[in-house]
């Protein structure tokens, strides 16, 4: 959404202070990826009022590849998170507050499949947050998600009623070792995808 793009500047300035060093586990053709996600609330309400009953839909390819669902390999312990400094800076900010921080390893699904894992599987019970996150691969990696965030106290600037459910639905190309930002006037996501030198396992 157009207004949401205006929210990137202050957040990107905040995140620029925290760096993520590439892992030595990068390989030419990795099969397993670590995905780390921070979901955060945007307290500014700077996007302004919109029709929140309109539910966005992520853009999908016209001709998806044959369905191959990625395999969940394992959850990643909080002590191994790479975005801890980013989460701390968000926590100390009055404009953005973390809702959830979680990470896992998986193999990628086929391009256009939309096959992923639920928030309940990846992060457990997160009050107000539901949805799915999927990682796809073809010539490039794509990370997509459809997340629903329900809050009893939406930011005042959004002119949304208590209990409004906000939907973030987006899929985009991502680069390994780089922070990727998915934005929405009410909440957003910072994601980090890194290849792992591990080609077996899964459940």
Q: What SS3 class is residue 157?
A: helix
Q: Tens digits of per-residue pLDDT, 138-183? A: 888 999 999 999 999 998 889 899 999 999 999 999 999 999 999 8
Q: What SS3 class is residue 200?
A: coil
C-alpha distances in Å from residue 146, one per residue of 3, 20, 108, 114, 199: 19, 25, 17, 10, 28
pLDDT of 21 > 80? The answer is: no
Residues 6 or more apart whose CB falls under 8 angstroms from that of 116 comprise: 70, 109, 132, 133, 134, 135, 144, 145
Q: Tens digits of per-residue pLDDT, 41-99? A: 998 877 777 777 777 777 666 666 778 889 999 999 999 999 999 999 999 999 999 99
pLDDT of 29 > 60? The answer is: no
Residue 91 has φ and ψ, to the nearest 5°, of: -60, -35
Pair type for strands 129-137 and 117-118: antiparallel
Q: Is the pTM of this model over 0.75?
A: yes
Residue 170 has φ and ψ, to the nearest 5°, of: -160, 145
Structure tokens at 127: 């009050």
CA dihedral 177, 38, 36, 69 (to 10 degrees): -120
Structure tokens at 144: 């997509």
């Amino acid at each position: 959404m157009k207004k949401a793009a205006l929210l990137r500047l202050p957040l990107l300035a905040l995140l620029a202070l925290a760096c993520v060093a590439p892992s030595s586990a990068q390989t030419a053709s990795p099969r397993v990826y670590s995905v780390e996600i921070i979901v955060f609330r945007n307290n500014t309400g700077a996007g302004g009022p919109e029709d929140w009953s309109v539910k966005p839909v992520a853009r999908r390819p016209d001709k998806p590849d044959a369905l191959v669902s990625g395999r969940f390999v394992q959850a990643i312990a909080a002590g191994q998170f790479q975005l801890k400094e980013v989460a701390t800076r968000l926590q100390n900010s009055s404009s953005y507050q973390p809702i959830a921080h979680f990470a896992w390893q998986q193999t990628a699904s086929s391009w256009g499949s939309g096959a992923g894992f639920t928030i309940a599987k990846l992060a457990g019970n997160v009050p107000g947050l539901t949805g799915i996150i999927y990682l796809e691969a073809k010539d490039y990696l794509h990370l997509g998600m459809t997340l629903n965030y329900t809050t009893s106290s939406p930011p005042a600037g959004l002119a949304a009623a208590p209990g409004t459910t906000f939907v973030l639905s987006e899929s985009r190309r991502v680069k390994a070792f780089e922070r990727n930002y998915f934005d929405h006037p009410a909440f957003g996501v910072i994601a980090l995808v890194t290849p792992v030198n591990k080609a077996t396992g899964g459940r």
